[in-house]
Structure 1
Amino acid sequence: MPKMVLLAEYVALNGTDLSDYTKKGELTTKVEEKDVTTYGSQGWKELLGGLKSGELGLDFLQDVAASALDSIMWPLLGTVVTFEVRADNAAVSASNPSYTGSVLINGWNPIQGSVGDEATSGVSYPTSGAVARATA
Protein backbone atom coordinates (compact mmCIF):
# COMPACT_ATOMS: atom_id res chain seq x y z
CA MET A 1 0.00 0.00 0.00
CA PRO A 2 1.47 3.37 -1.02
CA LYS A 3 2.08 5.83 1.76
CA MET A 4 2.94 9.51 1.81
CA VAL A 5 4.44 11.98 4.25
CA LEU A 6 4.00 15.68 3.57
CA LEU A 7 7.43 17.27 3.77
CA ALA A 8 7.39 20.09 1.21
CA GLU A 9 3.80 21.06 0.42
CA TYR A 10 3.47 23.92 -2.06
CA VAL A 11 1.00 26.71 -1.23
CA ALA A 12 0.52 29.87 -3.30
CA LEU A 13 -2.03 32.67 -2.99
CA ASN A 14 -2.41 35.41 -5.59
CA GLY A 15 0.68 34.05 -7.40
CA THR A 16 2.90 34.33 -4.30
CA ASP A 17 4.57 31.19 -2.95
CA LEU A 18 3.74 31.11 0.77
CA SER A 19 5.18 27.65 1.45
CA ASP A 20 7.93 29.02 3.71
CA TYR A 21 5.26 30.44 6.05
CA THR A 22 2.82 27.52 5.85
CA LYS A 23 2.70 24.94 8.61
CA LYS A 24 -0.48 23.19 7.47
CA GLY A 25 -2.50 23.25 4.26
CA GLU A 26 -5.82 21.54 3.56
CA LEU A 27 -8.04 21.73 0.51
CA THR A 28 -11.48 20.18 0.93
CA THR A 29 -14.21 19.93 -1.69
CA LYS A 30 -17.78 18.76 -1.37
CA VAL A 31 -21.07 18.48 -3.20
CA GLU A 32 -24.50 19.33 -1.76
CA GLU A 33 -26.84 16.37 -1.36
CA LYS A 34 -30.22 16.92 -3.00
CA ASP A 35 -32.95 14.55 -1.84
CA VAL A 36 -35.00 13.38 -4.83
CA THR A 37 -36.81 10.57 -3.00
CA THR A 38 -40.33 9.80 -4.22
CA TYR A 39 -42.92 7.18 -3.39
CA GLY A 40 -41.49 5.28 -6.35
CA SER A 41 -38.18 4.99 -4.48
CA GLN A 42 -39.71 2.06 -2.57
CA GLY A 43 -38.53 3.26 0.84
CA TRP A 44 -34.96 3.99 -0.26
CA LYS A 45 -33.57 7.49 -0.13
CA GLU A 46 -32.38 8.78 -3.51
CA LEU A 47 -29.82 11.56 -3.79
CA LEU A 48 -28.36 13.69 -6.54
CA GLY A 49 -25.34 15.96 -6.37
CA GLY A 50 -26.07 19.68 -6.25
CA LEU A 51 -23.72 22.64 -6.01
CA LYS A 52 -20.02 22.03 -5.46
CA SER A 53 -17.94 24.04 -3.00
CA GLY A 54 -14.56 23.97 -1.38
CA GLU A 55 -12.44 25.41 1.37
CA LEU A 56 -8.74 26.12 1.70
CA GLY A 57 -7.53 25.90 5.29
CA LEU A 58 -4.05 27.19 6.12
CA ASP A 59 -1.98 27.52 9.27
CA PHE A 60 0.81 30.05 8.91
CA LEU A 61 3.78 30.93 11.07
CA GLN A 62 3.30 34.68 11.29
CA ASP A 63 5.89 37.19 10.16
CA VAL A 64 5.10 40.90 10.41
CA ALA A 65 8.43 42.14 9.02
CA ALA A 66 8.33 44.45 6.01
CA SER A 67 7.45 42.50 2.83
CA ALA A 68 6.77 39.33 4.85
CA LEU A 69 3.53 37.35 5.38
CA ASP A 70 1.40 40.01 7.10
CA SER A 71 2.24 42.64 4.48
CA ILE A 72 1.33 40.12 1.74
CA MET A 73 -1.99 39.03 3.25
CA TRP A 74 -3.36 42.32 4.62
CA PRO A 75 -4.00 43.98 1.21
CA LEU A 76 -5.83 40.83 0.02
CA LEU A 77 -8.55 41.11 2.68
CA GLY A 78 -11.97 41.16 1.00
CA THR A 79 -10.70 40.11 -2.43
CA VAL A 80 -10.96 36.96 -4.51
CA VAL A 81 -7.50 35.65 -5.43
CA THR A 82 -6.06 32.60 -7.12
CA PHE A 83 -4.59 29.68 -5.21
CA GLU A 84 -2.48 26.65 -6.02
CA VAL A 85 -1.65 23.73 -3.74
CA ARG A 86 0.42 20.61 -4.37
CA ALA A 87 1.49 17.80 -2.03
CA ASP A 88 5.10 18.53 -2.94
CA ASN A 89 6.89 21.60 -4.28
CA ALA A 90 8.31 19.54 -7.16
CA ALA A 91 6.96 19.97 -10.68
CA VAL A 92 3.35 19.11 -11.42
CA SER A 93 3.02 15.51 -12.62
CA ALA A 94 0.73 12.48 -12.48
CA SER A 95 2.19 11.70 -9.06
CA ASN A 96 2.14 15.36 -7.89
CA PRO A 97 -1.12 16.92 -9.09
CA SER A 98 -1.81 20.63 -8.79
CA TYR A 99 -5.12 21.92 -7.43
CA THR A 100 -6.00 25.45 -8.49
CA GLY A 101 -8.86 27.88 -8.28
CA SER A 102 -9.88 31.06 -6.49
CA VAL A 103 -10.68 31.81 -2.86
CA LEU A 104 -12.32 34.71 -1.06
CA ILE A 105 -9.93 36.18 1.51
CA ASN A 106 -12.71 36.73 4.05
CA GLY A 107 -10.53 37.23 7.11
CA TRP A 108 -7.01 37.60 8.44
CA ASN A 109 -5.62 36.99 11.93
CA PRO A 110 -2.56 39.23 12.23
CA ILE A 111 -1.96 38.34 15.89
CA GLN A 112 -2.86 34.95 17.32
CA GLY A 113 -1.36 32.94 20.19
CA SER A 114 -0.64 32.83 23.90
CA VAL A 115 2.39 33.68 26.02
CA GLY A 116 5.33 31.55 24.89
CA ASP A 117 3.56 30.22 21.76
CA GLU A 118 4.89 30.60 18.25
CA ALA A 119 3.10 33.41 16.44
CA THR A 120 0.60 31.72 14.13
CA SER A 121 -2.32 32.65 11.94
CA GLY A 122 -4.96 30.03 11.13
CA VAL A 123 -7.34 30.84 8.28
CA SER A 124 -9.99 29.10 6.22
CA TYR A 125 -11.08 30.52 2.88
CA PRO A 126 -14.09 29.45 0.78
CA THR A 127 -13.48 28.69 -2.87
CA SER A 128 -15.09 30.91 -5.48
CA GLY A 129 -15.82 29.10 -8.73
CA ALA A 130 -14.39 25.81 -9.94
CA VAL A 131 -11.44 23.96 -8.45
CA ALA A 132 -9.28 22.25 -11.08
CA ARG A 133 -6.91 19.29 -10.82
CA ALA A 134 -3.98 19.15 -13.25
CA THR A 135 -1.22 16.60 -13.78
CA ALA A 136 0.81 18.46 -16.40
Structure 2
Amino acid sequence: MAKSVLLASFISVNATDLSAFASKIELKVECEDQDVTTFASGGWNERLAGLKSFELSVTWKQDTAVSQLDQQLWTLFGTLPAFEVRLSNAVVGTSNPKYTGNVLIKEHSPIAGSVGDVAEMDVSYPGSGALARATA
Protein backbone atom coordinates (compact mmCIF):
# COMPACT_ATOMS: atom_id res chain seq x y z
CA MET A 1 0.00 0.00 0.00
CA ALA A 2 1.40 3.38 -0.99
CA LYS A 3 1.56 6.02 1.68
CA SER A 4 1.77 9.74 1.08
CA VAL A 5 2.47 12.97 2.86
CA LEU A 6 0.54 16.06 1.84
CA LEU A 7 3.23 18.49 0.73
CA ALA A 8 1.86 20.10 -2.42
CA SER A 9 -1.88 19.49 -2.64
CA PHE A 10 -3.93 21.29 -5.27
CA ILE A 11 -7.10 23.34 -4.87
CA SER A 12 -8.81 25.38 -7.54
CA VAL A 13 -11.98 27.42 -7.06
CA ASN A 14 -13.74 29.07 -9.97
CA ALA A 15 -10.92 27.89 -12.30
CA THR A 16 -8.30 29.76 -10.20
CA ASP A 17 -5.45 27.87 -8.53
CA LEU A 18 -5.62 28.91 -4.86
CA SER A 19 -3.16 26.29 -3.57
CA ALA A 20 -0.71 28.96 -2.39
CA PHE A 21 -3.32 30.21 0.12
CA ALA A 22 -4.42 26.82 1.52
CA SER A 23 -2.77 24.96 4.39
CA LYS A 24 -5.46 22.32 4.95
CA ILE A 25 -7.97 20.68 2.62
CA GLU A 26 -10.59 18.12 3.59
CA LEU A 27 -13.13 16.66 1.20
CA LYS A 28 -15.75 14.67 3.08
CA VAL A 29 -18.24 12.47 1.24
CA GLU A 30 -21.13 10.72 2.90
CA CYS A 31 -24.56 9.25 2.34
CA GLU A 32 -27.59 9.11 4.55
CA ASP A 33 -28.40 5.71 5.95
CA GLN A 34 -32.02 4.70 5.74
CA ASP A 35 -33.40 2.10 8.13
CA VAL A 36 -35.34 -0.58 6.22
CA THR A 37 -35.61 -3.02 9.13
CA THR A 38 -38.73 -5.19 9.19
CA PHE A 39 -40.07 -7.95 11.40
CA ALA A 40 -38.43 -10.37 8.94
CA SER A 41 -34.97 -8.91 9.55
CA GLY A 42 -34.20 -11.55 12.17
CA GLY A 43 -33.53 -9.04 14.94
CA TRP A 44 -30.88 -7.17 12.93
CA ASN A 45 -31.01 -3.64 11.56
CA GLU A 46 -31.05 -3.40 7.79
CA ARG A 47 -29.84 -0.27 6.06
CA LEU A 48 -29.79 1.20 2.57
CA ALA A 49 -27.89 4.20 1.29
CA GLY A 50 -29.96 7.34 0.87
CA LEU A 51 -29.02 10.79 -0.41
CA LYS A 52 -25.33 11.47 -0.97
CA SER A 53 -23.57 14.69 -0.05
CA PHE A 54 -20.11 16.21 0.22
CA GLU A 55 -18.41 19.12 1.93
CA LEU A 56 -15.13 20.87 1.19
CA SER A 57 -13.33 22.32 4.22
CA VAL A 58 -10.30 24.56 3.80
CA THR A 59 -7.94 26.51 6.00
CA TRP A 60 -7.00 29.63 4.06
CA LYS A 61 -4.08 31.92 4.84
CA GLN A 62 -5.63 35.37 4.46
CA ASP A 63 -4.32 37.82 1.87
CA THR A 64 -6.19 41.10 1.46
CA ALA A 65 -3.96 42.57 -1.27
CA VAL A 66 -5.69 43.59 -4.51
CA SER A 67 -6.89 40.57 -6.54
CA GLN A 68 -5.72 38.11 -3.88
CA LEU A 69 -7.64 35.61 -1.74
CA ASP A 70 -9.96 37.95 0.16
CA GLN A 71 -11.16 39.71 -2.97
CA GLN A 72 -11.60 36.47 -4.90
CA LEU A 73 -13.62 34.75 -2.17
CA TRP A 74 -15.66 37.88 -1.42
CA THR A 75 -16.66 38.02 -5.09
CA LEU A 76 -17.78 34.37 -4.90
CA PHE A 77 -19.72 34.73 -1.64
CA GLY A 78 -23.22 33.29 -2.06
CA THR A 79 -22.44 31.60 -5.39
CA LEU A 80 -21.84 28.01 -6.55
CA PRO A 81 -18.41 27.98 -8.23
CA ALA A 82 -16.73 24.87 -9.58
CA PHE A 83 -13.81 23.45 -7.63
CA GLU A 84 -11.10 20.84 -8.09
CA VAL A 85 -8.91 19.20 -5.46
CA ARG A 86 -6.08 16.66 -5.72
CA LEU A 87 -3.70 15.08 -3.23
CA SER A 88 -0.81 16.42 -5.29
CA ASN A 89 -0.34 19.27 -7.73
CA ALA A 90 1.17 16.71 -10.13
CA VAL A 91 -0.62 15.61 -13.28
CA VAL A 92 -3.97 13.88 -12.79
CA GLY A 93 -3.65 10.11 -13.10
CA THR A 94 -4.55 6.78 -11.52
CA SER A 95 -2.37 7.56 -8.48
CA ASN A 96 -3.47 11.23 -8.33
CA PRO A 97 -7.21 11.44 -9.00
CA LYS A 98 -9.02 14.75 -9.13
CA TYR A 99 -12.34 15.46 -7.43
CA THR A 100 -14.59 18.09 -8.97
CA GLY A 101 -17.99 19.61 -8.38
CA ASN A 102 -19.67 22.78 -7.21
CA VAL A 103 -19.74 24.19 -3.69
CA LEU A 104 -21.76 26.92 -2.03
CA ILE A 105 -19.48 29.67 -0.77
CA LYS A 106 -21.73 30.21 2.23
CA GLU A 107 -19.22 31.72 4.64
CA HIS A 108 -16.27 34.08 4.66
CA SER A 109 -14.18 35.28 7.61
CA PRO A 110 -12.12 38.26 6.45
CA ILE A 111 -10.84 38.85 9.99
CA ALA A 112 -10.30 36.05 12.50
CA GLY A 113 -7.72 35.42 15.19
CA SER A 114 -6.07 36.67 18.34
CA VAL A 115 -3.02 38.83 19.00
CA GLY A 116 0.00 37.22 17.37
CA ASP A 117 -2.00 34.68 15.34
CA VAL A 118 -1.53 34.01 11.66
CA ALA A 119 -4.38 35.64 9.72
CA GLU A 120 -6.27 32.60 8.49
CA MET A 121 -9.80 31.34 8.17
CA ASP A 122 -11.29 27.88 8.52
CA VAL A 123 -14.33 27.46 6.27
CA SER A 124 -16.63 24.67 5.13
CA TYR A 125 -18.44 24.76 1.82
CA PRO A 126 -21.33 22.32 1.25
CA GLY A 127 -21.50 20.61 -2.11
CA SER A 128 -24.25 21.23 -4.59
CA GLY A 129 -24.99 18.46 -7.05
CA ALA A 130 -22.76 15.50 -7.82
CA LEU A 131 -19.11 15.03 -6.93
CA ALA A 132 -16.97 13.53 -9.68
CA ARG A 133 -13.73 11.55 -9.40
CA ALA A 134 -11.51 11.30 -12.48
CA THR A 135 -8.09 9.88 -13.26
CA ALA A 136 -7.64 11.48 -16.67
Same fold per superposition (TM over 0.5): yes
Q: Which residue of 2 aligns with 1:32?
A: 32
Shift of 1:2: 2.1
> Where does 1:32-51 land on structure 2 (aligned, <5 Å)?
32-51=32-51
Q: Which runs of 5+ in 2 are unaligned?
A: none
Q: Does 1:73 align with 2:84?
A: no
Counterpart of 2:71 in 1: which secondary structure?
Answer: helix
Q: Deviations over 1:26-52 (max 9, x none)?
A: 000000000000001010100000000
Matched residue pairs, number? 136
One-letter amino acid matched to 2:97: P
Q: Which residue of 2 aligns with 1:82?
A: 82
Where do 4+ consecutive residues of structure 1 move more than 6 Å?
A: none
Q: Which runs of 5+ in 1 are unaligned?
A: none
One-letter amino acid matched to 2:65: A
One-letter amino acid matched to 2:69: L
Q: CA separation in 2, counterparts of 1:86 and 1:112?
A: 27
> Where does 1:1-136 land on structure 2 (aligned, <5 Å)?
1-136=1-136
Counterpart of 2:124 in 1: which secondary structure?
Answer: strand
Q: What TM-score, normalized by structure 1, do the two folds share?
A: 0.98
Name the Cα RMSD after superposition: 0.6
Q: What TM-score, normalized by structure 2, do the two folds share?
A: 0.98
One-letter amino acid matched to 1:101: G
